[in-house]
Amino acid sequence: MFTSLSGKNFRTSIRYWKIFIIYITTLGFYTPCLAEDILDNLVFDLASTTRYYINKNGKNQVVNNQFSYGYKGEIKLNTKFDFSQFKDIKFSSQVFYNWNNKDEERRYMDIRKANVYFHKGENKFGFGIDTFFWGASESINLVNVLNQSDISESIDGKVKLGQTFISVSNQFSNGEITFIYLPKFRAINFPQRPSYGLPISNSNLFENNKKDGGYAARALFYVEDYEFAFSYFKGTRRQPILIRSSMSPELLTPFYIQTENLLFDGVYLTENFTLKTEAKIGKELGDGFTAASFGIEYPSYLFSDVIDEVIFIGEYIFDDRKITAETHAQNDIFVGTKFEFGDASQSSLRMLYSYDLDYRGQYAELSYQHRFLDYFRVKAKFVKVLTASSEERRLHALVGEEFVKFSLHYAF
Amino acid sequence: METNKYKLALLFIIAVLVSDLSQAEQSSRKKGYDIALAVDNRNAGFQDSVAKLSMILENSQGRKTVRELEIKVLENIRNGDKSLIKFNFPADIKGTSLLTHPFKNQADGQWLFLPAVNRTKRISSRNKSGAFMGSEFSFEDMTNKNIEDYTYNYISTEACFDYEAKTTAVQCDIIERYPIDKHSGYSKQIMWVDQLDKKIYKIEYYDRKNVLLKVFKAHNFVLYKNRYWRANKVVMHNVQTNKVTSLEYKSIKFTIGLNDRDFHRSALRD
């Protein structure tokens, strides 16, 4: 009801999925040994999920999906082919499906990966669909701009949707330079909850009617204790601005603007701590902007008999775009810890708290993961906005939308 | 006058003793180093290798969990052998990779790629003693160390237990080595080295308090390419927690044409 994109995207995704099946079957039919290799490299991750919102109704008072359950499935394939003429051709695919009994927008399929990479000398060529990670910070990755965020899966933008691309990279001993062309743009599906105060419109608006994926370049360097990258991106900004349009004043309409970014991210590893930074300058809606984050990670091994590693994190983020920024952080401090238990189950616990220096908004997140058998593991997450004024629009949208989610995974 | 004579004689004896001890110490260091060098030389020239193996983790109650992995190694005489370890099982950690670039006279580079979060984490020098994927092997243990990373001492020679034949038919030199890296999790290691083939049968690892922490034992040696001995099974027993991790090799291939590109940091994601 809130967006019509999901149905269209779903059908499009089904078409992609069929092509994918035909592609795999054809490969297997003509080359049985490849089929065997493919089977060996297939990974299935199935999960049953539950989500519980502490408050009964969403802020828009339209939906009530306080408790919901669902299923999640992921198929991954990573395999290499060596043909007589072409060596080291890598094929990767990752298809994700989610179903939720209450929220239609959480019933969708996404091809997160379906790509081919191959080498020719020092150059690496790639095409297909992929998710890219750029950045260094723990809380929010300002420079991770290529893929659309999956708001249905994570409200912090950490989970990314697949993005079509063509790329060429040149590897040298201390780094890599990559050029990427992104032919298609895809809009976000907004779930019913967490709501943004108003239902989201079905239709999207685009600046100058442009909706291009864009193009990007990245030069990554590893120099002794430094790892840093300069990047450039120009195209449609993945995160929309939510506006009241005259066409549907009772709804919030996603407005996708054009953006041009010059980006920097770097890590400096000392003996005792790690320094991290991300920065971007750019141009949007005719104005320039600046956003940056600075962070420190300090690992402690005081409890190494029980906990392999405890990492204390402190980060500061500012963004002078204020309410048109891509994230809720415009003058925020993040503090947190990560516990790696270092046992055979590889349990981990992550706690994060953020404080807005301008509006005093506070946000907390707690997540835990534990494997109790080779095939089974559990994940749990709790998210709560402690306080947020109406001036702080992105965070305010999440007030009263605190939730706990739990999933039991079976991977084979 | 008599007293002065005695004093001079005593000083002379002490000087001779100290000089002898110092010479003995130097001789012990040299012999220890020579044995370590012989182990290193015995393994030189393999170029590259790929091994598939199972990692079996056993807790103090005897409960076992299994992981499958692949280890690629590229010989690098100048700076120490590079290695890339990639997990294939359990499914949720498939693709997790550890890349190691050893360096002479500086901290080794180690990077861990975690596919679940699509991120590469650099292992800091302070975390080298941390558990590698929950096993009894530390990140430090997974590095192909350089001979210059330690100082050595020869201790003795004794009959060494052959774990395969379950006999003591092999003569072993016992040497101790002290890590130069101040962030090493160990104060020292004592190694049992077969005199003939330079196979390492056993290593005792002592923690920073100089208390025995772990014992490594190698079993079922197989000769590859008529030169390179590899143990088909190695066991690391943590004597303080009573946890055990075994590595059981399924296959090893040599000289398959790996190059630096296969050990580039971008290879972690490949």
- Of the candidates B94, B260, B265, the beta carbon closest to that of A222 is on B265
The answer to whether the Cβ–Cβ distance between B92 and A78 falls below 8 Å is no
| A382 contact partners, CB below 8 Å, separation of at least 6 | A365, A366, A367, A402, A403, A404
Read off the tokens for A64.
Answer: 């009530």
- pLDDT tier at A57, thresholds 50, 70, 90: confident
Residue that wins the pLDDT comparison between B265 and A181: A181
Mean pLDDT of B177-182: 92
- Distance (Å, rounded) from C-alpha A278 to C-alpha A289? 14
Q: How many CB pairs under 8 A join A and B?
A: 79
| A362 contact partners, CB below 8 Å, separation of at least 6 | A353, A354, A355, A356, A385, A386, A387, A388
Closest CA–CA distance from residue B124 to any residue of chain A (Å): 7
Give the pLDDT score at A1: 30
Is residue B99 within 8 Å of residue B86, measured between CB atoms?
A: no
Closest CA–CA distance from residue B106 to any residue of chain A (Å): 10
Read off the tokens for A92.
Answer: 């990767």
- Distance (Å, rounded) from C-alpha A398 to C-alpha A365? 13
The answer to whether the Cβ–Cβ distance between B92 and A274 falls below 8 Å is no
Give the pLDDT score at B144: 87
The answer to whether the Cβ–Cβ distance between B183 and A271 falls below 8 Å is yes
- Of the candidates B94, B261, B270, the beta carbon closest to that of A90 is on B270
- Which DSSP category does B229 fall into? E
- Of the candidates A124, A304, A411, the beta carbon closest to that of B92 is on A411
Answer whether the bond into residue A254 is a cis peptide, omega within 30°.
no
Q: pTM (2 decimals)?
A: 0.84
Please give the span between the terminal C-alpha atoms of chain B, in angstroms, as a whole number. 84
If interface means Cβ-Cβ distance under 8 Å, which residues of chain B face chain A? Answer: 57, 59, 65-66, 89-95, 118-119, 122, 124-127, 129-131, 133-135, 183, 260-261, 264-266, 270
If we measure between CA atoms, which residue out of B171, B144, B11 comes closest to residue B81? B144
- Of the candidates A45, A133, A169, the beta carbon closest to that of B92 is on A45
Read off the tokens for A314.
Answer: 């402190």
Sign for the pseudo-dihedral over CA of A227, A233, A237, A238: negative
Q: For A343, phi and psi rounded to 5 degrees? A: -95, 180
What confidence tens digit (pLDDT) does each residue in A305-339 have? 778 788 999 999 999 998 888 888 889 999 999 98
Strands of A13-154 (E only): list them.
42-53, 67-81, 89-100, 108-120, 123-130
- Of the candidates B66, B92, B127, the beta carbon closest to that of A309 is on B127
What confidence tens digit (pLDDT) does each residue in A87-108 have? 678 899 999 999 999 988 899 9
Within 8 A of B93 by CB-CB distance, chain A residues are 346
E strand or H helix at B190 = strand B188-194
Encoded amino acid at A11, one letter? R
What confidence tens digit (pLDDT) does each residue in B41-59 have? 998 999 999 999 999 999 8
Q: What is the overall mean pLDDT for chain B? A: 89
Strands B48-58 and B64-74: antiparallel
Asked which of A95-99, A192-196, A351-355, B133-137 is least confident by mean pLDDT, the reply is: A192-196
Within 8 A of B209 by CB-CB distance, chain A residues are none
If we measure between CA atoms, which residue out of B260, B208, B264, B247 comes closest to residue B70? B247
The answer to whether the Cβ–Cβ distance between A409 and B93 falls below 8 Å is no
If we measure between CA atoms, which residue out of A54, A190, A84, A140 comes closest to residue A332? A140
The answer to whether the Cβ–Cβ distance between B134 and A299 falls below 8 Å is no
Distances (CA, A) of B83 to A225, B74, B129, B168, B259: 20, 6, 18, 33, 11
- pLDDT tier at B17, thresholds 50, 70, 90: low
Interface probe for A, chosen from B59, B82, B92 (most Cβ of A below 10 Å), is: B92
- Distance (Å, rounded) from C-alpha B32 to C-alpha B44? 19
- Distance (Å, rounded) from C-alpha A155 to C-alpha B1? 94
Residue with tokens 């320039």: A288
The yes-or-no verdict on residue A12 having pLDDT over 90 is no
Greatest C-alpha distance within chain B: 86
Encoded amino acid at A235, one letter? G
E strand or H helix at B114 = strand B109-114
How much is the ipTM here?
Answer: 0.81
Give the pLDDT score at B199: 92
Within 8 A of B56 by CB-CB distance, chain A residues are none
Within 8 A of B65 by CB-CB distance, chain A residues are 344, 373-374
Give the pLDDT score at A303: 78
| A259 contact partners, CB below 8 Å, separation of at least 6 | A145, A233, A234, A235, A236, A237, A282, A283, A284
Q: What is the overall mean pLDDT for chain A? A: 86
The answer to whether the Cβ–Cβ distance between B134 and A222 falls below 8 Å is no
C-alpha A345 chain-centroid distance? 25
Bridge partner list, A312: A298, A337
Within 8 A of A171 by CB-CB distance, chain B residues are 261, 264, 266
Nearest residue in A to B131, CA atom: A342
Within 8 A of B92 by CB-CB distance, chain A residues are 45, 371, 377, 409, 411
Within 8 A of A346 by CB-CB distance, chain B residues are 93, 133-134
Mean pLDDT of B238-258: 94
Asked which of A370-384, B23-37, B160-174, B229-243 is least confident by mean pLDDT, the reply is: B160-174
- Of the candidates A43, A342, A409, the beta carbon closest to that of B134 is on A342
Interface probe for A, chosen from B66, B106, B270 (most Cβ of A below 10 Å), is: B270
Residue with tokens 């198929």: A75
C-alpha A279 chain-centroid distance? 18
- Distance (Å, rounded) from C-alpha A74 to C-alpha A131? 15
Within 8 A of A309 by CB-CB distance, chain B residues are 127, 130
Please give the span between the terminal C-alpha atoms of chain A, in angstroms, as a whole number. 36
- Distance (Å, rounded) from C-alpha A247 to C-alpha A224? 56
What confidence tens digit (pLDDT) does each residue in A131-156 have? 999 999 999 999 999 999 988 888 88
What confidence tens digit (pLDDT) does each residue in A211-224 have? 999 999 999 999 88
Read out DSSP for A169-228? Answer: EEEETTEEEEEEEE----PPPPPSSS--SSPBPSS-EEGGG----EEEEEEEEEETTEEE
Closest CA–CA distance from residue A342 to any residue of chain B (Å): 5
Residue that wins the pLDDT comparison between A17 and A202: A202
Read off the tokens for A326.
Answer: 């891509």
Supply the Cα-derived Rg of chain A in whole angstroms.
Answer: 22
- pLDDT tier at B19, thresholds 50, 70, 90: low
Nearest residue in B to A303, CA atom: B130
If we measure between CA atoms, which residue out of A271, A264, A279 comes closest to residue A221? A264
- pLDDT tier at A40, thresholds 50, 70, 90: confident
Closest CA–CA distance from residue A25 to any residue of chain B (Å): 23
